[in-house]
Amino acid sequence: MAIRERLSGNEAVATAMKQINPDTVAAYPITPSTEVPQYFSNFVANGEVTTEFIAVESEHSAMSACIGASAAGGRVITATSSQGLAYMFEMLYIAAGMRLPITLVCGNRALSAPLNIHNDHSDSMGVRDAGFIQLYCESNQEAYDNVIMAVKIAEKANIPVMVCYDGFITSHSVENIMLIEDEEVKKFVGERKPTQYLLDDERNISMGPMDLQKYYFEHRKQLADAMVGAKEIIKEVSEEFYKLTGRKYDLYEKYMMDDAEVGVVVLNSTAGTAKDAVDELRAQGVKAGLIKPRTFRPLPADELPEELRNLKALAIMDKADSVNGYAAPLFTEITSAMYTKGLTVPTIDYVYGLGGVDVKVSDIKEVYAKLQEIAQSGKVDKTTHYLGMDN
């Protein structure tokens, strides 16, 4: 039986962690994800979980402890944001390269400098090539659900998973959500049964040894192939979750796309705002649509171009910038996929919301108004726009 509750995003994530009851949680506090280990440490202190909670001295140490615990055969979760994720940078590559199924909760926050504690996606986009699966969440419900699914996805794929949701917007806002019964969560994730782990006294193995040229190349290719293969694992786990809860997840969500002429691609909480804009525009007769990627790693590079093929104009919205790049991350990757599929829809990039700048329905409607102009003329005068900041 589902349980109706009102929780912030951080509370929802910590509750999912409690129901999973991992072997180890190692974490260091940083805004806006601090509450995740804070709430979870209360569960540890109250005896509600059997988890070994490790209060470390830095985020680098947090991921190091997670690597050790996972390599020893344990189920491991951690949480961080912004500079904390940046401080983990070295160890993220090691976790992925060792194929350790660690779950990392990322409350997205802008990177310094200047110092800013509010939301954008510069932290998770900055580590997009570290080798973690990346799942993005629109709401508290999605954050809760994706943490539960992430554990199973990671252990099936032998790839760490990063669950990303917007700092403060999602992490601290309280919403009505539906929880799963504790026993159902435990049954869904099952027990971790590693085939190779350091504490196996019947099989001696080495993890993270020195790899010379060809061996290193082979191992990186194996990781790349596993990331591509993870798409099917994500679909399988999501289908199992749908049968349990009735909540449907895929690699991405389509909204009003079947007959859309102008469309937007956008991640996380802004997708909710964009859906309201689409609803208002549809009421005015504008054939607007939306795609919200759930997975950025692995990128649905084969699937997304097919969904965009019938558009007359497209805007891809990035809550992160690529300084001195041609355009921002989501734009460059999706347009690359479109190009290789022979798709030439006129496409522009909107960088928005950096440092937590609010984005309203009226702002999203401006994006669609620009797309209508492009759809009529068939011409793109400028590729990259800064929403609310263009002269």
Q: What is the CATH number of the domain that holds 61?
A: 3.40.50.970
Q: What is the mean pLDDT of the chain?
A: 97
Identify whether residues 194 and 326 lie together within a single domain: no
User: Which residue type sits at 76?
Assistant: V
Tell me the mean pLDDT in the region 57-85: 98
391 falls within a domain = no
| Cα–Cα distance measured from residue 147 to residue 164, given in angstroms and rounded to the nearest whole number | 10
Is beta strand 252-255 parallel, antiparallel or unpaired with respect to 295-297? unpaired
Record the pTM. Answer: 0.97
Residue 205 falls inside a structural domain: yes
Q: Are residues 239 and 301 in the same domain?
A: no
Burial string for 213-241 (b: 16+ CB within 10 Å, else e) reads: eeeeeeeeeebeebbeebbebbeebbeeb
Report, as an integer, the average pLDDT of 98-126.
Answer: 98
CATH number at residue 356: 3.40.50.920
Mean pLDDT of 362-369: 98
Calculate mean pLDDT across residues 223-232: 98
Please tell me the distance from the alpha carbon of residue 302 to that of residue 268, in angstroms, as a whole number.
21
**Residue 33 counted as domain residue:** yes
CB 66 within 8 A of CB 102: yes
What is the percentage of the chain residues whose pLDDT exceeds 70? 99
What percent of the chain stands above pLDDT 90? 95
Q: In degrees, to the nearest 5, what angle opens at C-alpha 67 toward C-alphas 72 and 97?
A: 110
Domain boundary among 245, 266, 299: 245
d(CA 182, CA 245): 13
Question: Rounded CA gap, 197 and 100, in Å?
Answer: 10
The encoded tokens of residue 250 equal 């895929």
Q: What is the mean pLDDT of residues 72-78?
A: 98
My answer on whether 206 and 57 are in the same domain is yes
Q: How many CA atoms lie within 13 A of 139 on its CB side?
A: 14
Do 298 and 165 have their domain in common?
A: no
Question: Is the bond leading into 113 cis (omega within 30 degrees of zero)?
Answer: yes
Query: Which pLDDT does position 391 carry in this prediction?
Result: 57
Domain of 132? 3-245
- Same domain flag for 226 and 276: no
Verify that 308 and 217 share a domain, yes or no: no
Both 18 and 118 in one domain: the answer is: yes
268-322 tens-digit pLDDT: 999 999 999 999 999 999 999 999 999 999 999 999 999 999 999 999 999 999 9
Look up residue 289 and give its two tokens: 């649509």
198 DSSP assignment:
T
Is there a single domain that holds both residue 160 and residue 261?
Answer: no
Statement to judge: residues 278 and 295 lie in one domain: yes
User: What does the radius of gyration of the chain's CA atoms come to, in whole angstroms?
Assistant: 21
Question: Taking the chain, what is the end-to-end CA distance rounded to the nearest angstrom?
Answer: 54
Q: What is the pLDDT of residue 153?
A: 98
Residue with tokens 């596993």: 226
Q: Are residues 121 and 69 in the same domain?
A: yes
Phi/psi of residue 7, each to 5°?
Answer: -140, 150
> Are 69 and 24 spatial neighbours (Cβ–Cβ below 8 Å)?
yes
Of the candidates 220, 245, 270, which is a domain's last residue? Answer: 245
Residues 95, 63 contacting (CB under 8 angstroms): yes
Q: What is the mean pLDDT of residues 242-257?
A: 98
Structural domain total, the chain = 2
Same domain, residue pair 219 and 258: no
Q: Where a domain ends, among 211, 228, 245?
A: 245
Residues 336, 373, single domain; the answer is yes
